[in-house]
Structure 1
Amino acid sequence: MQLPDSMKHSQADLYLETYQVLDLEMSRLREIQRWQASAASKLAADMQRFSRPERLVNGPTVTHFWSMLKLLDVLLQLDHLKNAKASIPNDFSWYKRTFTQVSTQWQDTDTMREELDDLQIFLSTRWAILLNLHAEMFRTNTVEDILQVLIVFCVESLELDFALLFPERHTLLRVLPVLVVLATSSEKESESLYKRVKINRLLNIFKNDPVIPAFPDLHLSPAAMLKELSSYFQNFSSQIRLLTLPAPHEIPPRELQDYQRHYLILNHMGTIRAEHDDFSIRFASAMNQMITLKSSDGADNDWSRDIKGNMYDTVVEGFQLLSRWTGRIWEQCAWKFSRPCKEPPMSDSHQDSATFFDYEKVVRWNYTAEERRALLELIGYIKSIGLMMQHCDTLVSEALWETIHMEVQDFVQDKLDTMLRTTFRKKKDLSRILSDMRTLSADWMANTSKADPEQHLLHQETEEMRQSTFYPRPVAPTAAQIHCLQFLICELVSGGNLRKPGGLFGNSSSGIPVEDLKQLETFFYKLSFFLHILDFTATIGTLTDLGFLWFREFYLESSRVIQVQHFTFLCEV
C-alpha cells in the first residue's frame, strides 16, 4: 500500500502502531497453536494408553469415551474455523509485512522469525490440527483399537438416540467422519473396522444428516469432509463408497425434496403443536398432583411413589422434547446456510438484487414468511415449556432425586441380587463385578428390612418374598457413582476386550442371557440421563438457549462480506 506524501514522514510510526495492534491478535493465534499441540498430545496419549495389548489399565469407560470425543470435537471445530476465517490470512499478511519493517531496528530476531514461519505454516495449511493429531496418535503405537471402539460407540449411540440430547448428538455426528478417516490407516485396518461396523450403517448415518451444525452460522458436511480429507490421508482415498456420498450442493433434486421436508420446521409444526399441547396438560397435571401430595399428611407410600415417578417421567419427556425442538432449529439453520437462495424475491424489495449481501441470501431471503412464522412459533413453545419447567425446579427436585435413588436401589439391591443367585452364581469373575456395583451404590442404611444373608440359605422364599423392601430417600447418587456404575456394566458385558465383535450390548458371545443383558442395557442408558436430570437448571438452560440465531460472524468471514447492515430474519416478522 502506497502512503500519501503527507504521511510518509511518519511511516515508521504507522508501521509500529499497526504491528502492535496486529501482534495482540497474532499472540492469540499462537496460544491456539500451542494449545492444540498440547491437546493433540494429550488425546493421543489417552488413546495409546487404552490401545496397548497388555491392558495394564482398566477402561476405557464411557466417561473416557466422551472426554476423548469432546476433545476431538473441539480440535475439529478449531480446524474448521481456521479454514473458514478469511480474515486470518489477510491479517497475517499485514502482520508479516509490518514485522519486516519494524524488526530492522531490533536485535536477535531469528527466534521471532522462526516462530513467525511456524505460525504461517500452521495458518496456511488446511486441516493442520487434524494432521498434527494424526502424527501424534501414530507416533509410537497404533491406536486403531480405540478408534474402532469409539466408532462403534458413536454409531450405537446415534442409532439408539433416545439417551442423547442434541449437543451430544451433534458432537457424535461431527467427529464420526474424522474417526473413520483416522481408523482407515491401512487396508487391513479398514477390513477390521467394517467387520465391526458394517459400512451401510455409516452410510445411513451420513446420508440421514448431510449437514451438521458446527457453529451458529457455520456448518459441516460429512460427505465434503470425507472428500477433502482423502487428499490429506492417502490411505482413505480407496474408500470409494464413502467418497461418493453427495455433498449438500450435489444432492439430486428428488432427494433434495426429501431433505427439505425433513429439515424445514414448517413441515413438522402439526406434530410439534400436538406434542406441546399434550405435554403442557400432562405437566400441569403432574404438578397439581405434586402439590396435593406435599399438602397431605401421611400419604400412602405407593401413591407417593407413583406420583413422584410420574413427575420424573414427565421431566424426562420435557427434556427430550426441548432437545428435539432446539435441535431442529439448529439443523434447519445449518441446512439454510448450506443452500443459500440464488436471488432474493423481488416482490419483497425494490432494490436491485446486486445490492444484496451474500449473508442475506442465507438468512433474510432464505426463509419464506410461513417458515419465519413457524420458527417463531417453535421458539415460543421452547421458551414457554422451558420457563414452565424452570419455575418448578424447587418443587420437583426432591421427587427427582428420590426417584433416581429408587431406580438405582431397585437395580442394585433386587435385580443384581437375582442375577447373583442365578446367572452369575458360578461365574466368580463376573460375580465380583456385580458385587462391586452393589458395594459402590447400594443404600443399605435406607433398607430397614434387609434380611440376614444366612437366612436366604435356610428358607426357600418365592421370588416376590426375596425382593428387598427399601425406602427411597431424596439422596441421588453422585456423578462419580454414576460413572463408576457405567464402567462396571461395560466391564461386565465386554470383559475388557476391545476387539470383541459386535457392539457393547449386541455381543452374543458375552455369555449373558438376553433378558439380563436387556436389563443391564436399560439401566446403563438410564444412568446417562440421570446426569442431565441432576443438573436440572443447567440442562434447561442449554436446551432453551437460542442465542445462536443472532450470530453472524463466521458466515460473513467465509463469504468475504464487509460486516455492515446487520439484518436478521427475526426482524422481518
Structure 2
Amino acid sequence: FTPKCIEMELAPAANPVRYADHTGFPSSFGQEMEATAQIERILEQGQHFVHMLYTFRSVSRAIPMITDANAPNKDDMNRRTYEILRPEVVKIKELMDFQDHVIHIFCSNLQHLVAPEARAKIVPEGLYNALIKVIDLLQKLDNLKDMKSSIQNDFARYKRAIQAIRAELPDGDVLSEEVSQLRMFLSNPQAPKQFIFYTLREQVKRIMGHEDIFEEMLFQCVDLLSMDDEESERYLTPDERYRFVRVIPHIMQLMDGSGSDNEYNVFKNKYKIKNFRQKDVQKVLKRYPFVPLYGDMASDTLVILKRCKNWNPEMEPLWSRVGDRKTAEAYDLRTRWRAVRSDYDHYIAVFANTMNEVNGFHFRKSSDRGAIEYAGRVARTVMTGFRYLMRWTCMIMESSAWKLKHPINDDNLRNKLMELYPPEKVEEMMTALCQQGSEYERVVRYNYAKDELSVMVDMISLVKSLASMMDKAENKFAPLLRLYIHAEVQKLVQGDMLPMLHRADKKRRPVLQAMLQIRTIAADWLNGIENSQDYKNYRRGQSTADINVPARVVGPSSTQLYLLRTMVR
C-alpha cells in the first residue's frame, strides 16, 4: 500500500535535468543548485546500497567448513571459497567507498555553508532538504550494516580464505590491505556500532560553526512537522514525514559537543533562531517515539538521543513519554478507525461526484476565471485525496512500527497459543518461540488481536481502493491540475506582486531587483511580450485579479519551482 501513495505524482521528485537549466534564469543560487544536483545523484546511488544491505543473505553458510587441517584439497577449497565470496566482499568494499564519498560531499557542502559570504545569503530550502536526506541515508546504511550478521560471517570466512592462499594470489598484498580496511569498517574498536555516523560526526566536528547550520536544518524539520493546519502540509508521502522525524535526533547528535563544559551542549544551549525553542523539538519527539525506518525495521528516537555525549538520564521525561497511555493510543489503529472510515465515505462521494463532472466536462485551455476556479476546485479535491492517502498509510506504518518495538510477552503469547492450539501443543510452541530466531513471530504473527487485524485489513483496503480510483482518474484530472498550477503561478508573479513592486519602485528599495528576477524566472507573458511598466502604472486600490495570461497546461519546471521557493522566502 505504501508505493501507491508514492505513485500518485504528476512530476518526478528529483530534477530530471539535474538543474542544468539554472543558467537560463537570473539568480545568485547557481552554486547551491549544482550542489543539490550532486547530492541527488549520490542519493540515487545510496538507494542501491540500501536495497543491497536489506536483501543481503549469507553465502558462507552454504560453503562446507574445512575441518581437517591436513586435508589434501584444503588449498583448492580455500581458493573456491575465495572465488565464491569475492563478489559479496566487493559489495561491502563498494559500500565502504561510497560512504566515504558521501561524507566528503556532505562536509564539503557544510564547509561552504559556514563561510561568511554564504551566511550572508539565504540558504535554499531545497539544499537543506538534500542534506537532510543524506543524513537519513547514512543512518539507514549504518543500521542495516549493523543488523546484518551475515555480512560479518561472510567477511570472516573470506578473511580466513585470503590468509590461507595469499601467497598464491598475484595481488595478494593488495587484497590483504583491503581486508584490513574492511575489518576497520565492519568492526572498528572505536565504534563497533554506528561506525558510519561516528565517522560523519568526527569529520563534522572539524568544521567551525557547524552548529548554526544544523540548527537551521533542525528548525526546518520541526517546522515542517509542526504544521497545525493540515492544508499547509508540504509533504505528500509517508517517507517524507518520517525522514524529518528520523533525522532530528541525529542532527542533535551531530550538534552536541564531547561533554566538556566549554563545548556546545545541545540540551542547554539556546537556539539563535527567533521563536525556536527546545520545547518545539521535544513536542515532535514525544509525538513520534517510534517511526518506520525501512521495510520491517523501526527507529526508536529516544535510543538515538541517548547517544549524545551530554545526555542525562534525568532528562528522559522531557524528551519521551513512551509509558504514557495516550502515546499507545496514538499508535493503535482501533482508536482512529471510525474517523477514518467516516472520512473515507465522505470523500469517496465527493471524489465520485467530481469525477462525474469532469467526465461530462469538455476540457479546453482557457484563462477564463470560471475555468480556473473550476480547475482549482478539482485540484483541491485531488490534494485532499493525496493527504488522506498519506495519513492513512502513515497510521498503518506507525502501528506496525509500534508492534515491532513491542513484541508480545510470554503471558499474552501463552494465552494467544491456547486460543489457537490444543493444550498439549502449547508448551511445545512456547519452547520453540523462546528460542533465537522466533522474534519475528513475536512481533508480527502473534502480536495482533483479532479486532486489530480486522481494522488493519480494512485500513489497507481503504488505501488501496482510494489509490486505485485516483490512479484511474489521473488522465482526466492532470490537465486541469496543470492548468490551475500555471494560472496560480502567473497570478502570483503578474498580479499579487504588483502592489509590492510598485511600493518598492516608488521608495527605491534594493529588494526591487530581486522581485523583478522572480518575475523573469516564472512570468509567462501574453503573446510573449513583457509588460515592464505595469507596476509603475499601478494605482492603489486597482484590482490585480483580472490579468491577461496565456492558458497553458503546464506547471513550472523543477528548477523554476526551486528558485521561486527560495527567492520568495
The partner residue of 2:105 within 38, 42, 46 is: 42
Give the SS at the match of 1:54.
helix
| Alignment partner, residue 355 of structure 1 | 432
Taking the aligned partners of 2:326 and 2:294, their CA distance within structure 1 comes to: 24
- Contact 2:502-2:536 at 8 Å conserved across structures: no
Deviations 1:186-205 (A, max 9, x none): 64474555343311111111
Taking the aligned partners of 2:151 and 2:520, their CA distance within structure 1 comes to: 55
- Contact 1:226-1:243 at 8 Å conserved across structures: no
Pair 244,418 (structure 1): closer, same or farther in 2 beyond 3 Å: closer
| Alignment partner, residue 388 of structure 2 | 321
Give the SS at the match of 1:220.
strand
317-326 or 186-195, larger mean C-alpha shift: 186-195
424-433 or 303-312, larger mean C-alpha shift: 424-433
- Contact 2:162-2:176 at 8 Å conserved across structures: no
Matched ranges for 1:459-498 at <5 A: 460=539, 462-464=541-543, 468-470=547-549, 472-490=551-569
| Alignment partner, residue 19 of structure 2 | none
The partner residue of 1:163 within 234, 247, 254 is: 234
Q: Which runs of 5+ in 2 are unaligned?
A: 1-63
Pair 299,53 (structure 1): closer, same or farther in 2 beyond 3 Å: closer
135-144 or 369-378, larger mean C-alpha shift: 135-144
Deviations 1:163-205 (A, max 9, x none): 2222111111111111111112364474555343311111111
Matched ranges for 1:372-411 at <5 A: 372-411=453-492
Taking the aligned partners of 2:70 and 2:312, their CA distance within structure 1 comes to: 58
1:288 aligns with 2:356: yes
| Alignment partner, residue 139 of structure 1 | 206
1:110 aligns with 2:184: no
Question: How far off its partner does 1:59 sit?
Answer: 4.5
* AA at the equivalent of 2:315: R
| Alignment partner, residue 173 of structure 1 | 245
Give the SS at the match of 2:559.
helix
* AA at the equivalent of 2:123: P
Deviations 1:75-124 (A, max 9, x none): 11001111222222222222222222222434663332222122112111
1:152 aligns with 2:216: no
Deviations 1:391-440 (A, max 9, x none): 11111111000110111111111111122224775262222221111111
Deviations 1:228-274 (A, max 9, x none): x23xxx4x346963697459xxx33xx1x322211122221101111
1:241 aligns with 2:315: yes
| Alignment partner, residue 127 of structure 2 | 64
What TM-score do the two structures reach when normalised by structure 1? Answer: 0.77
- Contact 2:78-2:161 at 8 Å conserved across structures: yes
* RMSD of equivalent CA atoms: 2.9
* AA at the equivalent of 1:274: S
1:303 aligns with 2:360: no
Pair 424,72 (structure 1): closer, same or farther in 2 beyond 3 Å: farther
* AA at the equivalent of 1:52: A
- Contact 1:322-1:386 at 8 Å conserved across structures: yes
Question: How far off its partner does 1:340 sit?
Answer: 0.6
Q: Which runs of 5+ in 1 are unaligned?
A: 491-573
Question: How far off its partner does 1:68 sit?
Answer: 0.8
Pair 96,193 (structure 1): closer, same or farther in 2 beyond 3 Å: farther
- Contact 1:424-1:430 at 8 Å conserved across structures: no
Question: How far off its partner does 1:2 sit?
Answer: 7.2
1:194 aligns with 2:261: no
- Contact 1:226-1:242 at 8 Å conserved across structures: no
The partner residue of 1:312 within 371, 376, 379 is: 379
Taking the aligned partners of 2:119 and 2:365, their CA distance within structure 1 comes to: 54
- Aligned residue pair count: 476
* AA at the equivalent of 2:430: S
Give the SS at the match of 1:241.
helix
Taking the aligned partners of 1:410 and 1:62, their CA distance within structure 2 comes to: 23
| Alignment partner, residue 419 of structure 1 | 500
Pair 411,34 (structure 1): closer, same or farther in 2 beyond 3 Å: same
Taking the aligned partners of 1:417 and 1:128, their CA distance within structure 2 comes to: 54
Deviations 1:125-155 (A, max 9, x none): 2111112112222335442221111111111
- Contact 2:526-2:549 at 8 Å conserved across structures: no
| Alignment partner, residue 83 of structure 2 | 20
Taking the aligned partners of 2:320 and 2:119, their CA distance within structure 1 comes to: 43
Identity %: 24
Pair 85,300 (structure 1): closer, same or farther in 2 beyond 3 Å: closer
Question: How far off its partner does 1:339 sit?
Answer: 0.5
What TM-score do the two structures reach when normalised by structure 2? Answer: 0.77
Give the SS at the match of 2:360.
helix
Give the SS at the match of 2:118.
coil
Give the SS at the match of 2:560.
helix
Give the SS at the match of 1:181.
helix
Question: How far off its partner does 1:450 sit?
Answer: 6.3
Give the SS at the match of 1:212.
strand
* AA at the equivalent of 1:337: L
- Contact 2:482-2:554 at 8 Å conserved across structures: yes
Taking the aligned partners of 1:265 and 1:108, their CA distance within structure 2 comes to: 58
Pair 151,424 (structure 1): closer, same or farther in 2 beyond 3 Å: farther
